[in-house]
């Protein structure tokens, strides 16, 4: 049955009490959730479109969209492109209550007990996939421009001269000289206020986000999350059972007032203030202060993910949020995945002093510590001045590639897309005209050997306008130019 043919379902699925104190979107959310959990709406069953629900219930589309977005955020519903919205095939509650060998069936599971509550939540998440190394893949640095010879020399020196000292177990918070080098770097380059012992070295930013979620968020706690936003960070908060509330953006970044309307209180807010991922807006100074003020009032933690602020082509970056905070509530997350290479799996969280012990213990419980030789080589790379030099070289290279992409877009695509803020970062956002489906264009492009990410794939609810995320850091100007011509032809086709 097509999802649009079950429009008579809402009155029985959803009962509204217009005069009640509970807001209408919450009533819709509660009814649908109850229907799902009780099995009246089975896993995989279609759910009426938000438009249809709104008509049937005589409420605004925003109201039904908010309820559905929340259910998606919590993993009860999923959207399948061009098919509609469906009850998720694997629900946390269903897994918990299913008899062993139930839902996922199969002879091999017949003797297994069900997953734990947390395990079921994690299993229901979808990990990000890596895409092919062709334009316009984004988020990967120019690996062919990395000084591999130098890295190999530094590694070999460490193995020859200090292998014994680095071969055993060492401190869970990281190799001390690396923690100092990171502290010095973020103080000078990003305005972070910290001492080296506040630096917890992690396996990429992702482990930092995972530790933050596990240590600071209880099941059911509300987390404000940028909409659209970074799916892997959202997954870390969902994994611990947070109620992740999508907070829209405006041209100053995360819209604090809209957030407060959706959830007055929250335990934590996740943001990418230097350059919002994936839209690219930089949070204004006024908005930073507003966010910190709200966090102080709500007694919430703030997670600042500063993943690619090194690549700014126009002006100096604004100092980070952490440096503006005087109440010890900002956790600053950084990574070497963008400045060096993602396979290194080294990042860091800079935590308030009174959280250092908890993070150090959590790191030890997770995996003791990151590989010591790599940490030592990275410390040598930074202390030897190579890190700063590499960033300067990449900034020049990326700026040239960005300029080539912008020029080709102007020449071949013209006003069919509107380029967002291109002053910084490793990718651009091309806004599509209202009504155009970014997912359809991304699919068509993929079939033609062009990788574009649809902006809507970073969101849990509907967005006012679609867009295409275009990476440029890995590709030489002629390659970008050829790919833009192909993209232009695809846009022509898609617009009919
Ligand atoms: C917003 C954001 N944060 C953090 C990261 C870095 O992740 P990791 O350090 O785990 O590779 C990325 C990488 O894509 C990102 O886009």
Shared-domain flag, residues 401 and 365: no
The pick from 128, 270, 274, 335 for probing ligand 1's pocket by mutation, whose C-beta has the most ligand atoms within 8 angstroms, reads 335
Shared-domain flag, residues 153 and 285: yes
pLDDT, tens digit, 9 for 90 and up, residues 428-446: 999 999 889 999 999 999 9
305 CA distance to ligand 1 middle (Å)? 8
- Residue 183 falls within a domain, yes or no? yes
Can you give the CATH number for the domain in which 9 is found?
Answer: 1.10.10.10
Shared-domain flag, residues 399 and 480: yes
Q: Which atom of ligand 1 is nearest to the CA of 305?
A: 3
Q: Which atom of ligand 1 is nearest to the CA of 205?
A: 9
pLDDT at 98 > cutoff 50: no
Average pLDDT of span 256-260: 98
- Residue 135 falls within a domain, yes or no? no
342 CA distance to ligand 1 middle (Å)? 9
**Is the CB of residue 139 below 6 angstroms from any atom belonging to ligand 1?**
yes
Can you give the CATH number for the domain in which 232 is found?
Answer: 3.40.640.10
pLDDT at 20 > cutoff 80: no
Q: Which atom of ligand 1 is nearest to the CA of 346?
A: 9
Shared-domain flag, residues 279 and 393: no
pLDDT at 2 > cutoff 60: no
Asked which of 111-120, 190-199, 338-347, 367-376 is least confident by mean pLDDT, the reply is 111-120
104 CA distance to ligand 1 middle (Å)? 32
Q: How many domains does the chain have?
A: 3
pLDDT number for residue 91: 67
184 CA distance to ligand 1 middle (Å)? 21
Last residue of a domain, one of 384, 416, 444: 384
- Residue 110 falls within a domain, yes or no? no
Q: How far apart are CA 69 and CA 63, in angstroms?
A: 10
Shared-domain flag, residues 47 and 155: no
Shared-domain flag, residues 193 and 244: yes
- Residue 331 falls within a domain, yes or no? yes
Shared-domain flag, residues 371 and 422: no
Shared-domain flag, residues 297 and 193: yes
Nearest CA, atom 13, ligand 1: 139
pLDDT number for residue 4: 31
264 CA distance to ligand 1 middle (Å)? 28
pLDDT number for residue 11: 45
pLDDT number for residue 103: 44
**Is the CB of residue 337 below 6 angstroms from any atom belonging to ligand 1?**
yes
- Residue 103 falls within a domain, yes or no? no
What Rg do the C-alpha atoms of the chain give, in angstroms? 24
pLDDT number for residue 428: 96
Residue-number span of the structural domain to which 42 is assigned: 4-98+117-124
pLDDT at 303 > cutoff 90: yes
**Is the CB of residue 278 below 6 angstroms from any atom belonging to ligand 1?**
no
In percent, how much of the chain has pLDDT > 70? 91
User: For residues 106 and 29, which has the higher predicted lDDT (pLDDT)?
Assistant: 29
- Residue 420 falls within a domain, yes or no? yes
pLDDT number for residue 39: 66
User: For residues 78 and 197, which has the higher predicted lDDT (pLDDT)?
Assistant: 197
Q: Which atom of ligand 1 is nearest to the CA of 204?
A: 9
- Residue 130 falls within a domain, yes or no? no
Can you give the CATH number for the domain in which 457 is found?
Answer: 3.90.1150.10
Q: How far apart are CA 276 and CA 230, in angstroms?
A: 9
Last residue of a domain, one of 332, 350, 384: 384
Nearest CA, atom 6, ligand 1: 205
Shared-domain flag, residues 462 and 482: yes
pLDDT number for residue 38: 62
Shared-domain flag, residues 338 and 421: no
The pick from 129, 141, 206, 374 for probing ligand 1's pocket by mutation, whose C-beta has the most ligand atoms within 8 angstroms, reads 206
- Residue 428 falls within a domain, yes or no? yes
pLDDT, tens digit, 9 for 90 and up, residues 381-415: 999 999 999 999 999 999 999 999 999 999 999 99
pLDDT, tens digit, 9 for 90 and up, residues 444-487: 999 999 999 999 999 999 999 999 999 999 999 999 999 999 99
Shared-domain flag, residues 408 and 461: yes
pLDDT number for residue 496: 62
Last residue of a domain, one of 384, 411, 434: 384
Shared-domain flag, residues 374 and 411: no
**Is the CB of residue 279 below 6 angstroms from any atom belonging to ligand 1?**
no
């Amino acid at each position: 049955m097509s999802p649009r043919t079950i429009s008579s379902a809402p009155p029985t699925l959803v009962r509204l009490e217009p005069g009640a104190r509970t807001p209408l979107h919450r009533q819709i959310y509660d009814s649908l959730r109850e229907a799902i959990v009780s099995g009246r709406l089975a896993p995989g069953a279609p759910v009426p479109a938000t438009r249809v629900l709104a008509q049937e219930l005589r409420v605004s589309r925003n109201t039904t969209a908010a309820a559905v977005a929340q259910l998606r955020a919590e993993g009860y519903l999923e959207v399948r492109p061009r098919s509609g919205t469906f009850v998720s095939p694997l629900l946390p509650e269903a897994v918990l209550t299913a008899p062993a060998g139930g839902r996922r069936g199969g002879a091999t599971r017949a003797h297994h007990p069900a997953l734990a509550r947390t395990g079921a939540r994690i299993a229901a998440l979808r990990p990000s996939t890596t895409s092919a190394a062709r334009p316009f893949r984004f988020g990967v640095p120019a690996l062919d421009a990395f000084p591999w010879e130098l890295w190999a020399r530094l590694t070999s020196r460490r193995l020859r001269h200090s292998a014994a000292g680095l071969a055993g177990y060492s401190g869970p918070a990281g190799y001390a000289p690396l923690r100092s080098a990171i502290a010095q770097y973020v103080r000078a380059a990003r305005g972070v206020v910290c001492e080296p012992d506040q630096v917890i070295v992690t396996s990429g930013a992702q482990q930092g986000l995972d530790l933050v979620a596990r240590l600071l968020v209880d099941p059911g706690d509300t987390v404000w999350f940028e909409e659209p936003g970074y799916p892997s960070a959202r997954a870390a908060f969902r994994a611990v059972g947070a109620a992740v509330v999508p907070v829209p953006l405006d041209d100053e970044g995360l819209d604090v007032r809209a957030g407060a309307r959706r959830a007055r209180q929250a335990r934590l807010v996740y943001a990418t203030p230097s350059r919002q991922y994936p839209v690219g807006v930089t949070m204004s100074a006024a908005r930073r202060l507003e966010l910190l003020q709200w966090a102080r009032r709500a007694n919430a933690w703030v997670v600042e993910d500063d993943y690619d602020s090194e690549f700014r082509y126009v002006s100096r970056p604004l100092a980070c949020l952490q440096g503006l905070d005087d109440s010890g509530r900002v956790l600053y997350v950084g990574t070497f995945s963008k400045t060096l290479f993602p396979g290194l799996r080294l990042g860091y969280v800079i935590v308030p002093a009174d959280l250092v012990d908890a993070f150090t213990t959590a790191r030890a419980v997770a995996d003791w510590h990151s590989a010591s030789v790599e940490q030592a080589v990275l410390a040598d790379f930074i202390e030897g001045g190579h890190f700063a030099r590499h960033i300067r070289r990449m900034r020049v290279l990326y700026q040239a590639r960005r300029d080539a992409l912008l020029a080709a877009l102007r020449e071949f695509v013209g006003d069919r897309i509107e380029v967002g803020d291109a002053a910084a970062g490793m990718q651009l956002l091309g806004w599509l005209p209202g009504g155009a489906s970014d997912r359809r264009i991304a699919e068509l492009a993929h079939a033609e050997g062009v990788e574009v990410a649809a902006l809507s794939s970073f969101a849990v609810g509907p967005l006012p306008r679609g867009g295409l995320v275009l990476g440029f850091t890995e590709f030489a100007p002629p390659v970008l130019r050829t790919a833009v011509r192909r993209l232009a032809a695809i846009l022509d086709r898609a617009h009919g």
